[in-house]
Structure 1
Amino acid sequence: MNHSLLMVNILQAFYWFDEALQAAMKAQGVTSLNRTQSLVLSVIANGEHRASRIARQLGISRQAINQVLNSLNALGIIVSRPDPKDSRALLVEFSEEAAVLREVGIKALQRIENELAGRIGADKVDGLREALAVEWGPPPT
């Protein structure tokens, strides 16, 4: 019976995914990004475009997300604009120039997931995805 802490296992799994993603991007000759930048881009690629929600999903401050978004904007990877529904909010998306980066990243993540399914079983990957997608409610105190 494995008594390791789930939190540590989840963190190690995240690092495994990120290292595989970084290696895939490097192999394709795509811009090298730091871990925070690649995580923010993954959230955007997953469909979230509001800066405040990206920050909330990643558990970082609005100031921190603005720094990351500014760095990605300076690299020409994303563009930002005011939300037409809320002028105080900022929407971000991949720039036209980053289409190759986005496509390479998404395909790499799909290959990584397929590799994981081959290693541990598709049923376990599906179960993991389902378990992590369930609303867990607020953290216990």
Structure 2
Amino acid sequence: MSKYDDSEPQSLGVLLRLAHQHFSSAVEDALHQSGFGDLRPHHANVFSFVPPAGIQVSELTMMAGVRKQSMAQAVEELEKLGYVERRPHPSDKRARLVFLTERGRQIRPLAMNSGKRVEESWAKLLGERELDKLRSALQALLVKL
């Protein structure tokens, strides 16, 4: 049963936030149950964008669309927790690259599987076609933004 009241139309921002909270909570719960209870939602900004070859914090910031200070803090927290490590950039001695550790590489598949289960449950509630329309509309909007 939903806590959401649909008696009055809501702003798109509120609807997107509530749907995101539901999705994020399910992923966070799955990670917690798998022994990764020390992760927080803002850490997803790191795990979502670190390629195997590593990445600079400034690039992570741009890809995630967050402030540099927020990204630097998330990377620092994850480094202390053992999910990422920073290494010197091979061609720029002033720069450092962020890499996922072995522990960090375990997160993405768990989060993806949990997200897939959320999507499957949403498809059962809305229907596959409606969920596909929602996904297509959001993708089209983001491409145009």
Q: TM-score range by the shorter chain?
A: 0.7 to 0.9
Whole-Å Cα distance in 1 between the matches of residues 22 and 33 of structure 2? 16
| 1:126 corresponds to 2:126 | no
Whole-Å Cα distance in 2 between the matches of residues 123 and 84 of structure 1? 47
Determine helix, strand or coil for the equivalent of 1:17: helix
Structure 1 residue 17, shift from structure 2 partner: 0.7
Determine helix, strand or coil for the equivalent of 2:38: coil
In structure 2, do the counterparts of structure 1 residues 130 and 97 end up closer, same or farther at CA, with 3 Å as the change threshold?
Answer: same
Whole-Å Cα distance in 2 between the matches of residues 71 and 117 of structure 1? 35
Match of 1:61 in 2: 67
**Paired residues, number:** 135
- Picking from 74, 78, 88, the partner of 1:72 is 78
- Picking from 46, 52, 69, the partner of 1:40 is 46
On the 8 A contact 1:17/1:112 being kept in 2, the answer is yes
TM-score relative to the length of structure 1: 0.75
Determine helix, strand or coil for the equivalent of 1:108: helix
Structure 1 residue 39, shift from structure 2 partner: 4.0
| 1:136 corresponds to 2:144 | yes
Determine helix, strand or coil for the equivalent of 1:110: helix
TM-score relative to the length of structure 2: 0.73
Match of 2:18 in 1: 12
- Picking from 102, 110, 118, the partner of 1:112 is 118
In structure 2, do the counterparts of structure 1 residues 100 and 59 end up closer, same or farther at CA, with 3 Å as the change threshold?
Answer: closer
Whole-Å Cα distance in 2 between the matches of residues 19 and 63 of structure 1? 24
Instruction: Kindly name which structure, 1 or 2, has the bigger radius of gyration based on alpha carbons.
Output: 2
Whole-Å Cα distance in 2 between the matches of residues 64 and 88 of structure 1? 21
Whole-Å Cα distance in 1 between the matches of residues 39 and 14 of structure 2? 24
